[in-house]
A and B are shown apart, each in its own frame.
Chain A
Amino acid sequence: MDNVLTYIVSGYNYWAALILIMIGMYGMIAKNNLLKKVIGMSIFQSAIILFYISISYKSNASIPIIAHGHGVADHTAIDPNLYVNPLPHVLMLTAIVVGVATLGVALAVLQKIYRVHGTIEEDEILESIKE
């Protein structure tokens, strides 16, 4: 029992991230409505960010801001175990920005498609092309 619990606890955050990645990917590929595809994209990207943040977490640690770090004198002994890993946070800040940038561009193209074809359902657009 204890083993199973450890197994679940040690991995469930990664599981959630991977499940969300799969949900997002399914939405991006299989959904018929283009806005739903964009929503899937947003879910996909956040899920990857969750994966990275799960990497950065350390138990028994604190937020990555050095306490009493103002003066130069009293930083002599900083214990790395007291702070979570800051590097993935930095990477994910960049990834969030990239995510919103892609979202904006996708929505702009989507509005343009609606203006040209009058619909954002993929199958209807394909039909209107064939005609």
Chain B
Amino acid sequence: MILDNTILWQFDVLLLPMVIICALAALTIKDLVGAAIVTGAYSFLMCLLWTEMLAVDVAFTEAAVGAGVSTILLLATALHIKRKAKD
């Protein structure tokens, strides 16, 4: 059975729900700056998930791009517009 020899599958079980919660939170938070930051957290958790699945290059890129540059771009836009969203 795969369960026995998977590296750190407990880690995986822990991370996946967190990723999903972050995704839901990013879509539901009404403050856009907050939503942008939660998106950054989502990207970072994704990056951890990929490291754990041994995709080191992809995780590196996501850490630099998803959690770094994308979040800054989202924040820059959120600060330029009205912060409150209707939904």
Which residues of A approach B to under 8 Å, CB–CB? 2, 5-6, 9-10, 12-13, 16, 19-20, 23-24, 26-27, 31-33, 35-36, 38-40, 42-43, 46-47, 49-50, 53-54, 56-57, 59-65, 84, 88-89, 92-93, 96-97, 99-100, 103-104, 107, 110-111, 114, 119-121
Chain B contact residues, majority secondary structure: helix
CB < 8 Å A-B pair total: 156
For the complex, give the distance between the alpha carbons of A110 and B36 in Å. Answer: 15
* Sampled A-B contacts (29; CB under 8 Å): A6-B2, A10-B2, A13-B12, A13-B16, A31-B87, A32-B87, A33-B86, A35-B36, A35-B78, A36-B35, A39-B26, A39-B74, A43-B26, A46-B62, A49-B58, A50-B46, A53-B50, A53-B55, A53-B58, A54-B53, A59-B7, A63-B54, A96-B58, A100-B65, A100-B70, A103-B70, A103-B74, A107-B76, A110-B81
